[in-house]
Amino acid sequence: MPAYKSAYTKRFTQAAKQGEQLGFETIGGIPLLPIHARNSKGPAPRPSPDETTDIIDETIRFFRANVFFASYKIDAAPDRLMVYLTLFCHQCVMRLAKAKTKDDAAREMYQLGIENFTLPTDAGFQLKGFFEKLDQKSSQDKLRAYLQQCRQELSARMAEVVLDASGKPSKWWTCFAKRKFLGKALEGPGSR
């Protein structure tokens, strides 16, 4: 059974078969897909009014299934973004598993969303083979700003999803803190 993919992957592959472009800017093999920015500001385009879910929602929805996969076939550019966001989602779960209260979780997710990070196109990134190397500083800055916005949005939404009614992390989410997507993690054991 293949890993779960974004709805954008299907749109990208259909457009590629027909020789069309969808109009999304791509940097380092990562498309700048629209997101519903409820908790962040940045360069990400806004989705059309008829789109109810975005790549962040899809990442959260598919995380618990995709984390079991040891391989992930890249069919289109949105798959690269899904891989990066799934790795970051795992990092969120690892940090949320340690939170004791809702305030601790919110503070930890805010801190995680704004902290400095390695771009997936950099040489030090574990899955750098999935991404194209960037030489221009302007491209790196634009990709960093987009991924920063995605990280802020994903971490804020994860704080809402992972915490149960009592304000403590749900065991149905924190049990995935020990699993690694593709055998990799952005922090902790297996991060280097």
Query: Do the Cβ atoms of 119 and 80 come closer than 8 Å?
Result: no
- Identify the architecture of domain 25-178 in CATH: Orthogonal Bundle (1.10)
Q: Please state, in angstroms and rounded to a whole number, the distance separating the CA atoms of residues 171 and 20.
A: 45
pTM over 0.85: yes
Q: Please state, in angstroms and rounded to a whole number, the distance separating the CA atoms of residues 126 and 79.
A: 16
Could you report the per-residue pLDDT of 92-139, keeping only the tens digit for each? 999 998 888 888 888 999 998 888 888 888 877 877 778 888 888 888
* Structure-token match 């008829």, residue found: 50
Return the domain boundaries, the chain. Answer: 25-178
Query: Do the Cβ atoms of 162 and 170 come closer than 8 Å?
Result: yes
Count of helix runs (H) and strand runs (E) in the chain: 6, 2
Confidence bin at 4 (pLDDT 50/70/90): confident
